[in-house]
Amino acid sequence: MLGLTGGEFLSAVAYRAEIDGLRAIAVASVVLFHAKLALPGGFVGVDVFFVISGYLITSIIVRELGRDSFSLVAFYERRVRRIVPALLVVIGACVVLGAWRMTPVDYVSLGRSAMAAIGFHSNFWFAENAGYFMPAAETLPLLHTWSLGVEEQFYVVAPLLLMLGARAGRWWLRCTFWALLALGVGLAVWGTYHNAETAFYLPHTRAFELLIGVGLGLGVAPEVRSFGARQCLTLIGLALIVAAALLCNEDTPFFAMLVPCVGAALIIHCADGVGGLTVVGRLLAIGPMVATGKISYSLYLWHWPLFAFAEYEWPGQVSLPARLALIAASVALAALTYRWIEQPARQSRYVLTQGRVFACAAAASLTLVAASFVIVTSAGWPGRLAPEVAAFAASISPLAVNAAECNRSKLRAGELGCRLGSKDTDPTFLLWGDSHASALQVEINELARRGNQAGLIIARGGCVPLFGVETATHLRKRKCLANAARVQAVLQRGTIRRIVLAARWSEYAGTQAWSDADALPTVPIEAGGAPSTWAEFERHFVQTLERLTSHGLDVVIIGPVPELPFHLPSAMIKARMRGQRFDDRYDYAAVQRSQVRVLSLLTRLEQMRGISVIYPHRVLCPKQVCELTVDGLPLYRDDNHLSELGVDKLKSELMSALMTSASR
């Protein structure tokens, strides 16, 4: 997405219009993907951009090193001119728009991500923070800057390695390249199966994509002199990119991005050469493609914030005409930014010296950092809101904070789960589940303490509490079986008499809210199978219950929490900010349609000996209407997790789960 465009590249090597055309395909696929226009793998455009950047940067550095004219200062001056002005304009626009439309909590998140983006480490920031309980990714205006962070980190390492390689010799440089590429692919595969979400953001797991471009710039690929062979290879390259954009999705193994990267490499390497441009090369070099490629950086910068703010304003309700209008607005803003920001910044008559380039960039960056710091330290600058709105936001924002999760740092010596209730007696109950179990942790801890009971909690967000099932989504992979093993180890100690299972059941059953799909999400079984039917989910559920009751345990299942199509605390604050009335009641029929199969299954499971079920909707949705607030405060901390007030509504049911035997 950065790469280089015409004038700058021409100063080092001959300009290739077809690369601008390839950049156009990359940015178009990303924009269409974010616009939800039937391109499920359009995100592969980012991978294509990485290959282009690796190739262009390496080509320039190698050419200048060969002429003994390479300068690190001049290199970074070009990078600053190319990247910083447009980026700061977009970040500044997001900060201003956020001040107008965002709630304090969300504005703090924007301020933090703005500082990370300006420092070119937003990929690390989002890897750490854009997790399970962050606002929906679709509403984070600067989420797309993670890729700029990856590229900037590449720009720090690449010149130094190439300078060292130039001194060591071409043979050493090529050997080092192949070793690094093999390592990069290995890290990508490893990251896919250990923490796919983190691997998505980090430079060492993305390195192989940039390195493919580096290899082209180093000339490690043999020249293809046959025009016919080049025709075939470029057609294959284009087919690989298009196939990846059409067939991939967010659950595709991360290392599969090798496919569009190879496609981009084939086009870059073979589109031009002996005999002239290939058919694909000529297609990419036509005027509209080149023009789109030239504005691709600004288009990439602008399109995502527009979509994010639209989704923030109208969650789940951005229509097709609106999305098409947002694309048009993105193109218009990109063209203006290219003409009035990018081009002037790269022309010496506007910035005469290197010193002024760095000074202006530093001054503008520090100004935005200072503004973002004020946003964060002031808790979202509540002074911009009407006093009564600011007071209301301050009163309910803490309710949107995550419930405390059990992690290894909180485990007592020798314990396999975090302690609940009394600290002086052996644990007699176990709470096992995902983040919905964690949401119950505070209330159950207090109820157990009052009843002089002790228990444990073993919970991990995104992990269904079933034996033999490994939840494998784009969020987490291969971590749930470890939790199940800990549960088994606790049971073998013999003190546990009751186990409470709590989870977002409909998510794992493939009937998650607002979806009519019957198929399960990707949930590989430890034997290597992949259940894809409702019957498979039911089978593992029954087997888990039979295994638990065979230990003589009472089993209590906490049924699904009624889910909302919006983030409740944020919606309440936004309604006050906009002077609108917030409807604090929701029709349960809309929820029931998405959870009816899970509820029917739980009704059947309840007939098994030793099993009882608690149904939160019976308390939260009396008379088929779900209550969302108590005394003006939200019962949810987002769209599907109860706040402590919401959990408090279930107090008597939870007390029954702890104190009453489920045996029949």
Tens of pLDDT, residue by residue over 180-218, are: 999 999 999 888 777 777 888 999 999 999 999 999 999
Cross-strand pairs, 257: none
Q: What is the pLDDT of residue 472?
A: 54
> 69 or 480: whose pLDDT is higher?
69
pLDDT at 303 over 90: yes
User: pLDDT grade, residue 512 (50/70/90)?
Assistant: very low
> 546 or 174: whose pLDDT is higher?
546
pTM of the predicted structure, to 2 decimals: 0.85
Domain boundary among 351, 384, 417: 384
Token pair, residue 425, equals: 């007696």
User: pLDDT grade, residue 234 (50/70/90)?
Assistant: very high
What CATH number is attached to the domain comprising 531? Answer: 3.40.50
Any domain includes 272 = no
User: pLDDT grade, residue 380 (50/70/90)?
Assistant: very high
Say if residue 413 is in the same domain as residue 345.
Answer: no
Which whole number is the average pLDDT over 402-421? 65
Say if residue 482 is in the same domain as residue 518.
Answer: yes
User: pLDDT grade, residue 525 (50/70/90)?
Assistant: very low
Integer CA distances (angstroms), 303 to 31, 100, 142, 347, 631, in order: 7, 19, 11, 25, 40
User: pLDDT grade, residue 12 (50/70/90)?
Assistant: very low
pLDDT at 6 over 70: no
Q: Is the backbone of residue 179 left (phi > 0), alpha (psi -120 to 50) or beta? A: alpha
Task: Tell me phi and psi for residue 642, to 5 degrees.
Answer: -70, 145
User: pLDDT grade, residue 509 (50/70/90)?
Assistant: confident
Domain boundary among 384, 419, 443: 384
Q: What is the pLDDT of residue 510?
A: 58
- Buried-state track 554-587, b at ≥16 Cβ within 10 A, e below 16: bbbbbbbbbbbebbbbbbbbbbbbeeeebebebe
Q: What is the pLDDT of residue 133?
A: 40
Q: What is the pLDDT of residue 5?
A: 36
Render pLDDT for 533-557 as a digit per residue (tens, 0 to 9): 677 788 889 999 999 998 889 999 9
Say if residue 68 is in the same domain as residue 200.
Answer: yes
Q: What is the pLDDT of residue 174?
A: 86
Any domain includes 279 = no
Any domain includes 142 = yes
Q: What is the pLDDT of residue 538?
A: 86
Q: What is the pLDDT of residue 533?
A: 61
Which whole number is the average pLDDT over 4-11? 37
How many domains are there within the chain? 2
Any domain includes 346 = yes
Say if residue 527 is in the same domain as residue 460.
Answer: yes
Nearest Cα residue to 32 out of 289, 330, 237, 257: 330
How far is residue 389's CA from residue 374's CA, in Å, rounded to a whole number? 20
User: pLDDT grade, residue 254 (50/70/90)?
Assistant: confident
Say if residue 294 is in the same domain as residue 356.
Answer: yes
Say if residue 377 is in the same domain as residue 520.
Answer: no
Domain boundary among 353, 384, 415: 384
Any domain includes 535 = yes
Q: Which domain holds residue 508?
A: 404-560+590-616+650-659
Which whole number is the average pLDDT over 55-61? 95
Say if residue 350 is in the same domain as residue 437.
Answer: no
pLDDT at 386 over 50: yes
Say if residue 75 is in the same domain as residue 27.
Answer: yes
SS3 456: strand
